[in-house]
Amino acid sequence: MLAYLNDIRRRATHMFLTVAAIMLPVMVLVYVAERLGLVARAGELLAPVMAWIGLPAQAAIVWATTVITNIYGGIAVIAALSGELHLTTAQISALGAMMLFAHNLPTEQAVVRRAGASALFTGSLRLVVGVVYGAAVAWVCAWGGWLQEPVSLAWLASSGDVHAGPPDVGPWLLSTARSMLLIWLIICVLVVVLDALERLGFTRWLTRRLAPVLRLTGLTERAAPLTTIGMLMGLAYGGALIIEASEREDYDRRTLLLALCWLSLFHAVLEDTLLIAALGANVWVILVLRGAFVLALMMLLAAATKPGTRWGRRLARAAAR
């Protein structure tokens, strides 16, 4: 028993230190960017994109904050702007979907890069897919007259502890320390749960059930459990598992690319979806249709990276170096 617990502790600590070494420097840089007003400046630059999609200019600040920080940061901006931000259900669904596709890019794509895929490619993919999907939702709903009822954000304004802008250094350090401790605890739980699921045979059962979808998206069965955990728990946690597993099982470059594209586009499904739905977004738009959209996109990526294609040959050459 002691040997088992020690092995769990060793694996969890190794995974945590690997992720923390990536996340902490990026979190510091993001904090400095907030203090210098770069996040607000990014929002101003994105305003024309929001107008093209059919969203108000204030939505640009929300999305820029979300992209650079996280969904909670974006919600804080929505709370601060709730008095002047007037959205329909279609618009909050489009904005919410964009937030779900592209958030916390500096930290999460650093994890992706460490796990074995291009941070530039996967990060750009998240931004482009977010804009395309958000625009499609806004345009189709406006054309069909669907989801045009106004959404009330007044309940956010009543929260006295939500403020726009960056926190002071002291609270930020305390918040960061709590976040890192929470990540370590979650990783410990994940390692125990995954080991238990493997021993109980659940992992093999889940892999068999996912096999048809995996074949469509080009993923191997070995990557199924890790991809599923990341989709449910989040990219940072799933990325930590993939980093650890890739060092142990030596995944090929194509499998890593497809798995990490999956996780970049569709992760933390339960928590993040509930957060955005609480703002008034339509669940079908931000979860069901978004999932189908990602599946279709992953099928295209799988076809484009098959052995023998130009992209597939590039991946093979990179792996041979």
Q: What are the pLDDT digits (tens) for 58-72?
A: 898 889 888 988 887
Q: How far apart are CA 177 and CA 174, in angstroms?
A: 5
Alpha helices in 145-287 (DSSP H): 154-157, 169-200, 202-217, 224-233, 235-249, 253-265, 269-278, 283
Residue partners of 321: CB distance under 8 A and separation at least 6: none
The predicted pLDDT at position 131 comes to 95
Predicted TM-score of the model (pTM) = 0.80
CA distance 71 to 62: 9
CA 21 vs CA 14, 172, 187, 240, 262: distances in Å: 11, 18, 15, 11, 23
Q: Which residue has the tokens 């892999």?
A: 207
pLDDT recorded at residue 163: 45
> Coil, strand, or helix at residue 34?
helix
User: Which burial class, exposed, middle or buried, applies to 52 when counting CB atoms under 10 A from its CB (0-12, 13-18, 19+)?
Assistant: exposed
Quote the CA–CA distance of 183 and 168 in Å, as a whole number: 22
% helix, strand, coil for the chain, step of 5 = 80, 0, 20
What does the mean pLDDT of the chain come to? 82
Q: Based on the number of CB atoms within 10 Å of its own CB, is 214 exposed (0-12), middle (13-18) or buried (19 or more)?
A: buried
Q: What is the DSSP letter of 151?
A: E
In the prediction, which pLDDT does 238 show? 67
pLDDT at residue 217, as a whole number: 85
pLDDT at 13: 83
Q: What is the pLDDT of residue 160?
A: 41
Question: Could you list the residue range(s) of the whole structural domain that residue 122 is in?
Answer: 2-320
Tokens at 294, concatenated: 């990602």
Question: What is the count of structural domains for the chain?
Answer: 1
- Nearest Cα neighbor of 53 from 117, 154, 130, 155 is 130
Q: Going residue by residue through the chain, which has 321 residues, state the pLDDT in tens, using 9 for 90 and above.
A: 778 778 878 888 887 787 677 667 766 776 777 678 776 777 778 888 899 999 998 898 889 888 988 887 788 778 777 777 889 999 999 999 999 999 999 989 988 888 888 999 999 999 999 999 999 999 999 999 999 999 988 776 644 444 445 456 777 788 778 767 877 887 787 778 777 877 888 767 766 776 677 778 888 777 776 677 777 777 766 667 777 777 777 788 888 899 889 989 998 887 788 889 989 999 999 999 999 999 999 999 999 999 889 898 888 777 666
Q: Which residue has the tokens 């798995």?
A: 259
